[in-house]
Structure 1
Amino acid sequence: MPPTARPLRKLGFLTIGLFDEADPRRGHESTLEIIKLGERLGFDSAWVRHRHLQYGISSPVAVLAAASQRTRRIALGTAVIPLGWENPLRLAEDLATVDLLAGGRLNPGVSVGPPGHFDRVSNALYPDTADAEDFGHARAERLLDCLRGKPVTDFSGTEGFEVFSDRVQPHSPGLSRRVWYGAGSLRSARWAGEQGLNLLTSNVVRADDPDGPWDFAEIQRSLIRAFRAARPDGDAARVSQGLVVVPTDSATAEQRARYEEYAARRLPRTAQPQGPGRLLFAPDLVGPSEEIAERLRAHAAFREVDEVAFALPFTFGHEDYVQILTDMATKLGPALGWTPAG
């Protein structure tokens, strides 16, 4: 198979952080232990997903604040925070605070668009302003302005015994350069490049052509190239790919069977675009590391990147994640040219 254009430089992983409603602390502690394991194994980054009104991490910034105090080196990211649920100014305060506590390791990933199931949650989320809220790219631009230290008010100075700033406090220099955008369409990829952001690509893209053919890898490659074409630094612009990858080198027979069954159940959705958003999913990659590495080296979009944040399957248990991460770090990563950090 043709080799990747460059050796894999940064290896990360992504978790949704599932928990049992009857014992949510246990699930959150499991996520923190997995992040600590990732650092010990030499991963460059650990990312958490964001889920509202579900049994996954609803407050990734809080979880990463805890993770920042249990780790010392690994980069900590969100993939992604949907800004339709957030006030950009308040989120900027939280992100800057955690970045300072983490020693400059936070990598906020964001996306825009209306909150999921907005018709069901709008009254609880925006009871008086739902019709007036802007869920487009302007919402992300407000967040970026706050993180970049632009004024958010025309007042600063002393009032009585209190001192006020005209920009978000605390300010964390460099944080705005570590913001990532989760783009699934050409328009969003170009916008992210124009804004000077980094690009997160996942196992989902938008199939803009209604007639096909629908080749996930080719569509994803077109997004990456459109993003880099919009940035002055071109090929040097950071892009991270996030496919679902499950190495089975040290898995038990029971684990391998369960992993393969999981991937098989999800495979039909990869054949054609799904739903009104015309979303096309990538097949999950399950098997020995050498086999997965060969498939990745032949993947048109993977050959464009030197950073990945492989997604862990949502529904597996703690010991499954330990096995998968260990194989990623000791087998798959080295097969792709990666060297553990630290």
Structure 2
Amino acid sequence: MPLPSQPLRKLGFLTIGLFDEADPRRGHESTLEIIELGERLGFDSAWLRHRHLQYGISSPVAVLAAASQRTHRIELGTAVTPLGWENPLRLAEDLSTVDILSGGRLNPGVSVGPPMHYDQVKQALYPDTAASEDFGYDRVERLLDFVRGKPATDFSGVEGFEAFSDRVQPQSPGLGGRMWYGGGSLRSARWAGEHGMNLLTSSVVKAEESEDFAEIQLSHIRTFRAHHPDGDAARVSQGLVVIPTDSATREQRAKYEEYAAQRTPRTTTPQGPARMMFAPDLVGTSEELAERLHAHAAFREIDEVAFALPFTFDHEDYVQILTDLATRLGPALGWRRAG
């Protein structure tokens, strides 16, 4: 077994927040309860993923605003916001507002590219500009500029009884340093580094230099840091599906193993024209998981994680998984609980 990596410094988790169309409030409340539980267990961060026109959280920023009022310490992030669905100026206002409400705990993660199923949704999303919308890195740069305080207009001052600012308001000090990019390619890793962002390594990557997932992810981390002003100190968080079974019932263990088995075939070879590689889901006791993670080339390079919760499980399953992550696996990886 390889020598252990450096002790894990930050332990986080990611959830999609599924809900029943007939009772969406229950699903959203479950997500908020899971975030509250995460804080009680000492997790450093909780992250939400976007799902548009599906039965998962479509507005993580709104849900995190609610979470900010029900928690006090845990950091709150998006992993990730696809900017093809967003206006960077309006999103900057929302992010700054939630960061103020949270006391500086927001960690927005973003990505580029056209919205999923763009041909089917573009008429509703951009009825007049669909053909001319730019879904590349320029969209991220605009967001970064607004969050970091660059002018959004050449007008400011008093008009009548109203005062106007040329910058997004409120401005939230420090938010610009907590912007993350969700990257799955060497190009995106380099771009994020050059623009001083933090990097969320994806559980889906492009097979560019290898067909070994860990090696690909490692190359992204090293490329990012090689081009970041902070070098080896630049922040990287690894995202993998990790399911500890220490306190799981027999039925839960069977469910988890079946879930992973159904998803394993897609992890063996690159998928589709873009040659996407998927990370295998990790299921087992915390002792087994710690050994597998310490042997993972990319994990040995980082000290922050945001382990993804499986998307189709029940609330009780998430309680068990989070509890084992915080009380069993985290300590086995050298992590010490916050608070």
Aligned to 1:221: 218
Contact 2:208 2:216 in 1 (8 A): no
Q: Distance in 2 between matches of 1:173 and 1:233?
A: 19
How far apart, CA to CA, are the structure 2 residues paired with 1:73 and 1:258? 33
- Counterpart secondary structure, 1:308: strand
Instruction: Encode CA deviations 1:44-100: one digit per residue, 9 max, x unaligned.
Output: 000000010000010000000000000000000000000000000000000000000
Q: Which runs of 5+ in 2 are unaligned?
A: none
- The corresponding residue for 1:56 is 56
Question: Which of 317, 321, 326 is residue 324 of structure 1 equivalent to?
Answer: 321
Identity rate of aligned residues, in percent?
81
Alignment RMSD:
0.7
Q: Is the 8 A contact 2:270 2:277 kept in 1?
A: yes
Q: Distance in 2 between matches of 1:259 and 1:3?
A: 28
What is aligned with 2:171?
171
Structure 1 stretches of 4+ moved >3 Å: none
* Cα offsets for 1:139-166 (capped at 9, x unmatched): 0000000001101111100111111100
1:279 is displaced (CA, Å) by 1.0
User: Is 2:297 the partner of 1:303?
Assistant: no
2:277 maps to: 280
Aligned to 1:45: 45
Matched, 1:268 2:274: no
C-alpha distance in structure 2 between counterparts of 1:143 and 1:202, whole Å? 21
Could you tell me whether the CA contact under 8 Å between 1:4 and 1:302 is conserved in 2?
Answer: no
Three-state SS of the structure 2 residue aligned to 1:79 is strand
Determine the structure 2 residue equivalent to 1:204.
204
Name the residue aligned to 1:230: 227
Give the letter for the 1:200 counterpart.
Answer: L
Q: What is aligned with 2:85?
A: 85
TM, length-normalised to structure 2: 0.99
Contact 2:236 2:302 in 1 (8 A): yes
Cα separation, 1, equivalents of 2:204 and 2:132: 29
For the 8 Å contact 2:107–2:180, the answer to whether it is kept is yes
Question: Which residue is equivalent to 1:129?
Answer: 129
Instruction: Tell me how far 1:263 sits from its aligned partner.
Output: 0.1
Aligned length: 339
Give the residue type in structure 2 aligned to 1:152: A
Deviations along 1:185-231, whole A, 9 cap, x unmatched? 0000000000000000121111125xxx5100000000000000001
Alignment TM-score, normalising by the size of structure 1: 0.98
Distance in 2 (CA, whole Å) between partners of 1:33 and 1:259 is 22
Runs of 5+ unmatched residues, structure 1: none
Partner of 2:255: 258
SS in 1 for 2:170: coil
Taking the aligned partners of 1:14 and 1:201, their CA distance within structure 2 comes to 13
Query: CA deviation digits over 1:301-332, x for unaligned, max 9?
Result: 00000000000000000000000000000000
**Structure 1 position 293, deviation (Å):** 0.3
Deviation of 1:5 after TM superposition, in Å, equals 3.1
Indicate conservation of the 8 Å contact 2:256/2:283, yes or no: yes
CA distance in 1, matches of 2:206, 2:32: 32
2: distance between equivalents of 1:181 and 1:154? 29
**Are the equivalent residues in 2 in contact too, given 1:296–1:302 (CA < 8 A)?**
yes
Give, in angstroms, the shift of residue 4 of structure 1.
3.2
Q: Counterparts in 2 of 1:152-163, with a 5 A limit?
A: 152-163=152-163
